Structure 1
C-alpha cells in the first residue's frame, strides 16, 4: 500500500468528515482510510480501522496524509504543529455540494461540509472548519483555526480573528469596507446569536442582538462599558 489517509478524530465530527474524504479520494480502497485517535478504546469505527498517531506513523505506507477533524481549535493547532514536525501532509476537504466562487484564498487543512458557500474576495487562514449550510459572503477575512458550526451566516465585510468559534445558526451582520465588523481572537458566538457589532477578543456573546455572557472573569465595568459603547 502506497497511500494512507487518516482522519484525525474517530467520533463525532470525524465520522461526518470520513465520507467526504472517501468521496474526494474515491479511487482508493477502503483499507487506505483510517481514523486516528490517541485515546480511543475501540479499534474500529464506521468499518474503518482506528490507529494511534504513533501507529499511523509506523504504518508501511509511503504516502501518508491527514485531515484534522477536531472541533477544539487549540487541539487542532497542536496537532497541526505535530504533523509539520513529522512532515505529514495536511489535506483540505470540500463536499461535492460546497461552492467556491471567485477570488477566494483558502488556507491548508480546511474542511467545507455539505452545502457550504464561499462567495467572492474572501481570505481564509489555516485549518478552517465550516459545517453544513454555512456561508461566507464577500470581502471577509477569516484567521487561522476558526470554526463555523452548522448554518452560520457570515455576511460581507466581516473580519474574524484566529481561534474564534461561531455557533450553530449564528448570524453576523454585514460590515462596511471602511469599518468591517470584527470578531476578536478566541471569541465565542453562541448558538442562534445575531451579531450586530464588534465582539472583543476572548468574549462570549449570546442572544439577539448578541450581548456578553456574564461570567466571573467578564464582570468588570470597564469591559461592559467598552462593549456597549462600541
Structure 2
C-alpha cells in the first residue's frame, strides 16, 4: 500500500510517525507540487506521480483548502486514508473518510464524525457530538457532550466548548473560528470568530459562497 501525505509542512511531518506506527508495511511519501527532493527520509512526489488506488492523507489545517485538495485527489482516483495514531482512543468504525486522530486524542461515542476531520494532540470529542466535514481541532481542545460542530469550523488550541443538552445541542456554526483558550458557553453563529473567557464575538465574516 502506498500512502501520500499531501502537504510537506509542519503537520505533514508530524504525521510521519503515526503513519509508520499504524501502517508499518506501507510505502510513505509526501505529495507537494511545489517541492522536490525528500523530507523526513521520504520522497516528495507530485500528485501526477500517484497511481489510481493509492491512498492519501491531507496535512493541511485550513478546511476550505482541505476540501479543494480532497476533490483533486478524488479526481486523480486516489482513496482517502484515515489516520488513527495507536496512542489515540478512537473507534475506526466512526472515523469519517480521511479523518486524522493524533496521539492521545480521545473520541468517545459521538453521533457522527465528518469527512477529513482533524483531531489534534490531546483533544477529545465527548458523547453525542456531531462533527461536520473539514473541521479542525487544534491541540488540547475539549469538546463536551451534545455539541454540534458544523462544516469548516476551526477550534483553536486549548479551547473548551461547554456541553449542550439532549435535544438542544450547543452549536458551533459553519466556518466559525474559536480562538485558542476560549471558553464557549453559548452557540457560535456561522463565520464568526470568538475569543476569551467566556467567549465573545471578535468579528463576523460573510460566507465564502454568499
TM-score between the two structures when normalised by the length of structure 1? 0.85
- The residue that corresponds to 2:162 in the other structure is 173
Q: Distance in 2 between matches of 1:86 and 1:97?
A: 32
Q: Could you list the runs of 4 or more consecutive aligned residues of structure 1 that deviate by over 6 angstroms after TM superposition? A: none
Cα deviation, residue 104, structure 1: 6.5
> Which of structures 1 and 2 has the bigger CA Rg?
1
Cα deviation, residue 69, structure 1: 1.0
- The residue that corresponds to 1:93 in the other structure is 83
Is it true that 1:205 corresponds to 2:194 in the alignment? yes
Q: Distance in 1 between matches of 2:130 and 2:183?
A: 19
Is it true that 1:53 corresponds to 2:43 in the alignment? no
Alignment partner of 1:44 out of 38, 44, 48: 38
3-state DSSP of counterpart to 2:49: helix
Q: Distance in 2 between matches of 1:190 and 1:169?
A: 9
Q: Distance in 1 between matches of 2:14 and 2:198?
A: 31
Alignment partner of 1:34 out of 19, 29, 37: 29
Deviations 1:17-60 (A, max 9, x none): 111111111124xxx211011122x4111111111212334xxx
- The residue that corresponds to 2:3 in the other structure is 5
Contact 2:53 2:77 in 1 (8 A): no
Unaligned runs of 5+ in 1: 219-230
Q: Distance in 1 between matches of 2:107 and 2:54?
A: 29
Change (3 A) 1:93 1:52: same
TM-score between the two structures when normalised by the length of structure 2? 0.92
Give the number of aligned pairs: 206
Cα root mean square deviation, aligned = 1.8
Unaligned runs of 5+ in 2: none
